[in-house]
Amino acid sequence: IEKKLVFAQANLNDRQAWILQFLHENKKITNKDFVSYFRSNRTTAYLELDNLVSQNLLVKKGNGRSRYYCLKEEFRSSEHYKN
């Protein structure tokens, strides 16, 4: 990943930073995307994504298998990223 994220709450682990970068480039992420990239289990994916929701960085949309996560509106601009 070429760009680095700049967030005031920079208390993020590597997986969480990857999630935010992924969302900057792809607009939404599912548990399946996370599990596929990190070869982890669904519980780990849920915990990482839910943690970012609780930090007010992501919003959850949908329910069950159709659930996905997006960056909150205020974090969608490029000002939160640097080269």
Among candidate residues 52, 18, 12, the one with its CA nearest the CA of residue 37: 18
Across the range 48-68, mean pLDDT stands at 94
- Per-residue pLDDT of 1-18, as tens digits, reads 344 555 544 588 899 999
Q: What is the pTM of this model?
A: 0.78
Q: Would you say 10 and 22 are in contact if contact means Cβ atoms under 8 Å apart? A: no
pLDDT exceeding 90 applies to what percent of the chain? 64
- pLDDT of 48 above 60: yes
Query: 72 burial class (0-12, 13-18, 19+ CB within 10 angstroms)?
Result: middle
Beta-carbon contacts of residue 26 (< 8 Å; ≥ 6 apart): none
- pLDDT of 24 above 70: yes
